[in-house]
Structure 1
Amino acid sequence: MDDVTTRIIELIAKSKSIPVDSITPESTFDELQIDSLDKINLTFEVEDIFSIEIPDDSLNSLRTVADVVDGVNSLLAAKTQPQH
């Protein structure tokens, strides 16, 4: 697992008080009992950890751990692109 995936899984495990090894990238927010408030809190923590800003309109499309990882990786890649 890459660093982004590991850090997000650890963050979810800590916030939901569940074992890290019970979470996979395919785990859904429903399975993890992550509600809309949890999703907002997770977003704030991810933004702080990775120094990115997740657009509010993308929150509704986040359904799995992999969705969060993909979004973070996309934002990190865009952040490293040279500005013209």
Structure 2
Amino acid sequence: KLLSDIKLMYMSTIYLMMLFSLAKSPLMMVFLILIQTIILSLMINLLHNLFWMSYILILIFLGGMLVIFIYIASLTS
């Protein structure tokens, strides 16, 4: 069961990489990167049983997105 879940996550990651190359809008690109990060953190959690590592990965990524959002919002005003 675990091996089939991991294979499914690898396949979805590859599919999302292909979709990323076809994405035109930045919002779609951010959405795809966010989904890939969530899938990666789930794979870390399933393979190594390290919940804190996957949690830290998501927090760092969301913090970086917040910094970029604040920077772009300050440029537009």
Asked whether the two chains share a fold, i.e. TM above 0.5, the reply is no
| Greater percentage in helix | 2
Calculate the TM-score normalised by the size of structure 2. Answer: 0.33
Calculate the TM-score normalised by the size of structure 1. Answer: 0.31
Greater relative CO (CA pairs within 8 A, separation 6+): 1
Choose 1 or 2 for highest CA Rg. Answer: 2
